[in-house]
């Protein structure tokens, strides 16, 4: 069995990866899709667990994998991304890192820096990380075997428990959080116009998120 964990940024999978790595014997190393689009030439056939910021289309490279991902309220996901970048910087981009530390959420939303992370990112990851086509993303969503939700109470632990049971692995305790901001922006602190802007930018993600919720409820009802 191969398991592909599609890691949409800021949905909690960085934390779950540390847990899942302890329950699989041949996890694949992480690769940067940004630096090596398509990961051409990388052989994943020997690995039983593949986790990364890889798009849904990557699953075509694997042998009939079990596909898992996590979703998060789209507005909360955008706020988490900005909080983390504002606090910690962005990978190896020193210019962006310096800029982020000196600017506000509203500055970021008005800048080119937010173009990728603040606009229907979940929809794009459900395709190829580039295009935000809702019908295609909805179709691919149906092919995902298990979807967890970070914003559920105890969402990380419940997702770990239920997914490990789904793939016949022993459960394990989830401790701490990986790559989490120490000072997240709360929805209650948002200016109304900022909230409206983020919601408009993520109109497709909001619909996709709602469908993911419905889908998991439908599957739960069938199992019962």
Torsion of CA 15, 19, 24, 28, to 10 degrees: 30
Identify whether the C-beta of residue 158 lies closer than 8 Å to the C-beta of residue 81: no
Q: Which residue has the higher pLDDT, 222 or 23?
A: 23
**Domain 3-223 is of which CATH architecture?**
3-Layer(aba) Sandwich (3.40)
Instruction: Check pLDDT > 70 for residue 224.
Output: no
Q: Residue 177: its pLDDT value, please?
A: 82
Q: Which of 55-64, 83-92, 194-203 has the lowest mean pLDDT?
A: 83-92
User: Residue 180 pLDDT > 80, yes or no?
Assistant: no
Q: 145-164: per-residue pLDDT in tens? A: 999 999 999 999 999 999 99
Distance in angstroms (rounded) separating the CA atoms of residues 224 and 220: 6
Mean pLDDT of the region 14-29: 96
pLDDT for res 121: 98
Express as a percent the part of the chain with pLDDT over 70. Answer: 99
181 has a pLDDT exceeding 90: no
Q: How do the domains of the chain map onto residue ranges?
A: 3-223
Q: Rounded distance, CA 30 to CA 20, Å?
A: 14
Mean pLDDT of the residues in the chain: 94
Give the pLDDT of residue 42: 94
Q: CB-based burial of residue 111 (10 Å sphere; 0-12 exposed, 13-18 middle, 19+ buried)?
A: middle
């Amino acid at each position: 069995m191969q398991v592909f964990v599609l890691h949409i940024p800021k949905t909690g999978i960085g934390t779950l990866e540390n847990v899942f790595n302890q329950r699989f014997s041949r996890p694949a190393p992480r690769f940067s899709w940004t630096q090596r689009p398509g990961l051409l030439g990388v052989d994943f056939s020997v690995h039983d667990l593949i986790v990364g910021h890889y798009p849904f289309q990557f699953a075509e490279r694997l042998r009939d994998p079990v596909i898992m991902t996590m979703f998060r309220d789209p507005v909360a996901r955008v706020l988490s991304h900005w909080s983390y970048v504002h606090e910690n910087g962005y990978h190896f981009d020193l210019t962006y890192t310096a800029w982020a530390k000196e600017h506000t959420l509203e500055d970021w939303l008005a800048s080119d820096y937010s173009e990728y992370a603040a606009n229907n990112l979940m929809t794009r990851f459900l395709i190829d990380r580039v295009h935000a086509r809702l019908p295609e993303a909805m179709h691919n969503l149906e092919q995902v075997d298990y979807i967890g939700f970070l914003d559920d109470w105890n969402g990380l632990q419940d997702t770990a428990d239920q997914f490990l049971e789904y793939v016949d692995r022993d459960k394990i305790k989830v401790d701490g959080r990986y790559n989490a901001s120490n000072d997240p922006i709360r929805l209650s602190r948002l200016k109304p116009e900022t909230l409206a802007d983020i919601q408009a930018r993520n109109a497709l993600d909001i619909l996709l998120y709602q469908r993911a919720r419905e889908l998991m409820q439908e599957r739960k009802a069938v199992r019962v």
